[in-house]
Amino acid sequence: MKKVTFLFCCVVVFVSQVISQEEFNLPDIRTFINKEKAVNIPHFSANQQTNKNNPNNNYNAGREINAIPQYLDSIYEYNQDNDLNYVYNYDQLNQLETEYVNYIFDGIQIPYLRIDYTYENDTLIKQKLYNAMDYSNLQWYPIFKAEFDYDNSNILETLTTHDWDDSLTILIPLEQFQYTYNDFGNYNNITVLSYDTSSATWNNAVFLVYGYDANQHLIEYINQEYDDLTSSWVNDFKCVSTYNTLGLKTEYIEYNFVSNSWIPSSKIEYTHNSQSRLNKELHYSWQTSSNSWNISSQTELYYDSFGNMLESLRSNWNTTSLDWKPDARTLRSYNSNYPFVDLVLPWHCFLFTFLWSNPIVPEPYYNFDMITPQYTSMLLIREYQRWDEDDSIWETREVKEYYYSDHITGTPNNDYTTELKIYPNPASDYVIIDIGNNSCEFELIDISGKVILSVIDSENKINIRSIPVGIYLYHVVIHNQEYKGKLVISR
């Protein structure tokens, strides 16, 4: 089955010259989408924030809650293959509005992908539209679409995806997910249909069955595929989890259905520290010949006093020397002055950027309630390293840097009391600054921090025809009062 995948993306300054995908060796757009392995969460909108009033929220113990939330603005990713930059734009309700991703080659930032969000009743995500860049004319065109439909209680009923057809030059249906829930609001079943373009009909593809214990812990998940020959659902694989009396997962086993029997394939055992945080995973593989589990690897997790994961260390079991050999580790640093409740994050960053314990179900069928974040503060840097056995050193393979802002355009002083407005945004030829009879200083800054336009004028209309298409920061000063924000230039 071809699984639906959603990703987290970013924005950077567009290059003005015509470029080609082949010139910079950019990956295929669908390969990139699949690689990101993001998911659909029906119970949440596109951004994920922690409820300050949630009695189960202990992220903020001993720390003062700040008045101004911090928005994740962008992520810079440096790796051995290609460098990337991710930028997130939010609407007035703090919901994710647009995401972009750009590749960076020799300091040139190449626009690659854009995702636009629309909402229903202000908070329910209605559509995610993926757009790829046409480098012949520097215009975006649709490549993938996901549509969300809800019942009268605002519970997700169906998710329908569409894929771009190059020959027809339109988006055509691809898959549909139909959700049902139990009395506690957890998944009961998910039916996945695939679209047959030749007959223009939806056909059965996958059926997902969820089972829970008395405390609504997900203890079993069964994946079935549709057999056209017998017109029936056939078992494919299942995942089984067990929990301790505190509701913490202690074991996770995957089975494959072979010759009418469930055969184990892999197992993970979990241990937790005194703060109920996961501190070790032991991974096993099933050996059919001996009918037993063989240990293969372990992951050790280390935290600071606030519960932020500082390091995750993976080691492999050496069957010759009978000891653990380091393999990979991830290091993280934080700003603990900003607890989790102060952060406005895209929900997919909450899931994938900050690592969680292995969930029981594969994408895109996660039950969000089963996932526990392993950070409580503002993440600043995430560094992934591999162990070099020959030189006995850790080699850095990937670094991600996270940037935030408070999205405050400035607090008006006594000399200027009207909220600053800059429009149109996006703009093409000019922007108008609503400054009344005042004069202002206006600067336009690219993603590298370079001032590319500076104007001191009493006129409120500023010409931007010479500025390349892209996303910029603006800086406006009126009567010593500063205003900052983002300006999109598109043509």
Could you tell me which of 80, 111, 132, 152 has the C-alpha nearest to residue 10? 111
CB atoms within 10 A of CB 418: 11
User: Residue 347's pLDDT is what?
Assistant: 58
pLDDT attached to residue 435: 74
Q: What is the mean pLDDT of the chain?
A: 78
Question: Could you report the per-residue pLDDT of 139-175, keeping only the tens digit for each?
Answer: 899 999 999 999 998 888 999 999 999 888 899 999 9
Backbone angles phi, psi at 100, to 5 degrees: -135, 155
> Dihedral angle at the C-alpha atoms of 362, 367, 372, 373, nearest 10 degrees?
80
How do residues 19-70 score in pLDDT, each as one tens digit? 344 444 555 655 555 444 333 333 333 333 333 333 334 445 555 555 577 8
Query: Facing residues of 90 across strands?
Result: 96
The tokens 């406005």 sit on which residue?
344
244-259: pLDDT as tens digits? 999 999 999 999 999 9
Q: What is the Cα–Cα distance from 16 to 448, expressed in whole angstroms?
A: 15
Q: Where are the domains of the chain?
A: 29-182+299-405, 422-489
Short-list 346, 431, 442, CA closest to 88: 346
Q: What's at 75, amino acid-wise?
A: I
176 and 159 Cβ atoms separated by less than 8 Å: yes
CATH 2.60.40.10 fits 422-489, yes or no: yes
Q: Enumerate the H helices of 342-483 as residue ranges.
A: 347-348
Tell which residue, 239, 272, 275, has the closest CA to residue 256. Answer: 239
The CATH number for 29-182+299-405, chosen from 3.90.1640.10, 3.10.180.10, 2.40.128.720, 3.40.50.300, is 2.40.128.720
- What pLDDT is stored for residue 145 in this prediction? 93
CA pair distance 373, 351, nearest whole angstrom: 8
Ranked by mean pLDDT, the top range of 74-88, 188-202, 357-371, 465-479 is 188-202
Closest CA to 102 of 91, 110, 94, 90: 110
- Does 29-182+299-405 match 422-489 in CATH topology? no
